[in-house]
């Protein structure tokens, strides 16, 4: 029984983890994670302020369907 495929997979996983940790450490040192909250508000402006829903797609309709007609 040969362990070559298993060792290859483990080597790829270890190298991938090392590269991932290196990139994350580099990004943290350069300050890429310092101000994450401000970027969340970039999509808002004066026309569409934070906290005010603009689309009514997922909101309840103004008149419920199947309501009795008051003139009937």
Phi, psi at 57, each rounded to 5°? -60, -45
Domain that holds residue 22: 1-30
Q: What is the tally of structural domains in the chain?
A: 1
Residue 13 lies in a domain: yes
- The verdict on residue 53 lying in a domain is no
What does each of the 72 residues of the chain score in pLDDT, given as a tens digit?
899 999 999 999 999 999 999 999 999 999 998 988 887 888 888 777 887 777 666 655 566 566 666 675
Supply the pTM of this predicted model. Answer: 0.54
The answer as to whether 40 is a domain residue is: no
Q: Where are the alpha helices (DSSP H) in 1-72?
A: 4-29, 36-40
């Amino acid at each position: 029984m040969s362990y070559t495929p298993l060792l290859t997979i483990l080597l790829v996983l270890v190298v991938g983890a090392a590269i991932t940790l290196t990139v994350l450490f580099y990004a943290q040192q350069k300050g890429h994670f310092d101000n994450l909250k401000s970027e969340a508000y970039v999509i808002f402006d004066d026309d569409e302020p934070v906290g005010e829903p603009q689309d009514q797609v997922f909101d309840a309709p103004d008149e419920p369907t199947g309501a009795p007609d008051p003139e009937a």
